[in-house]
Amino acid sequence: MPAFIFGTVSLISSVISLNILSLIYSMLLMAISIAVQGFGHSKEALPPEPFSSAKNAFIRVFLEQLYTFPKFVITGKWYSALRNHKP
């Protein structure tokens, strides 16, 4: 989700600039983004498998948000899935 990507970049910038308020805002944005995605995943016919550990959750969330989703959008598969979606 673009909000998670923006939150991640903002988090890194906040740490570098030592801006506590921005750091809190960035973490909140990332958490809300993950919550919205979790809600969406719960509606899928085949939901993803549960996390096996905190490390697994961290790796899977960051991998999906910063690699898999952008690749899905850039290749045009997101638009194709959106056009073929039947409610």
Q: Is 6 exposed, middle or buried, given 0-12, 13-18 or 19+ CB atoms closer than 10 A?
A: middle
Q: What is the pLDDT of residue 47?
A: 75
- What is the band of 26 on the pLDDT scale with cuts at 50, 70, 90? very high
What's the CA angle centered on 6, arms 4 and 46, to 5 degrees? Answer: 20
Q: What is the pLDDT of residue 39?
A: 84
Q: For residue 51, give both structure tokens.
A: 């996390």
Helix 20-42 to helix 2-17 angle, to the nearest 10 degrees? Answer: 160
